[in-house]
Amino acid sequence: MDTGKKEVLRAQNLKKNFGSLQAVGGVDLVVKDKEVRAVIGPNGAGKSTFFNLITGDIRPDEGEVFFKGQPITGWAPHRIARLGVARSFQITHIFPQLTVFENVLVSLVVQQKRELSILRAARGISQLRDETLETLKLVGLGDLAELKGQALSHGDKKRLEFAIVLACKPELLLLDEPTAGMSQEETDLTVGLVKKLSADLGITIVFTEHDMRVVFSIADYITVLQQGLVIAEGLPEVVRKDPRVIEAYIGEKRE
């Protein structure tokens, strides 16, 4: 990892308990500009809770979160999003009754602080229309712009969610299980999209994923959680061989 790059995200001694359950037990994490970081671990390792602490959906019991050097601990999610932090979820969050085009247009309207009441008029604004179509083209949905969101396949719904969060112009993108429930073809398309977002747009990406083929094909750096603690961290080729990781998570799935 290039230590000369600027920090985009820093988590410092993050802790969160739910009653007697330790979900996150003092996690430290530093992610550099344009890095693709995987955060992996078995079910119950604390990955989603860790994401929720970063995005402000949950307040930490202890610790700090910094985005580009600015402390954002305990901020409301919408304030964090406005700084340039976007997130996709395991379960897709789209507007099923709107068209694919309208789904992305709404995100652009909000990002540009326009009133949603002018949505219909906004369709006629060439800049918004062009940005919407360009975003859809980027994720491979340009030909499905007028289709209702509910009519999409699972993989296309995930790609639409990518387009929605990309319309927010993020500098940091958090992806929670981006290939969950996808066919192999859909997974391959998503892997290619993530690589494209990093290489072409320079977006810093942090993602969780259970498919180790996906992790090792796109991650620059890997952090491994177990029971809310970091048990290993490093380059993919190093983490792949770490006996603690093999025992805790990869096991016989190791390639």
Mark 54-85 as b/e (b = at least 16 C-beta within 10 Å): bbbebebeebebbbbeeebbebeeeebbeebb
Q: Are 213 and 255 in contact (CB under 8 A)?
A: yes
Tokens describing residue 70? 């600015």
Confidence of residue 181 (pLDDT cuts 50, 70, 90): confident
pLDDT at position 254 is 41
User: 154-166 and 126-138 helices cross at what angle (nearest 10)?
Assistant: 130
DSSP bridge pairs for 172: 85, 204
Phi-psi region of 152 (alpha: psi -120 to 50; beta: other; left: phi over 0): beta
Domain 1-84+170-255 sits in CATH at: 3.40.50.300
Q: At residue 250, does pLDDT exceed 90?
A: no
What pLDDT digit, counting tens, does each position of 94-126 carry?
889 999 999 999 888 777 664 445 555 555 577
Confidence of residue 147 (pLDDT cuts 50, 70, 90): very high
Task: In the chain, list all ranges with CATH 3.40.50.300.
Answer: 1-84+170-255
The pTM (predicted TM-score) of the whole model is: 0.87
Q: At residue 90, does pLDDT exceed 70?
A: no
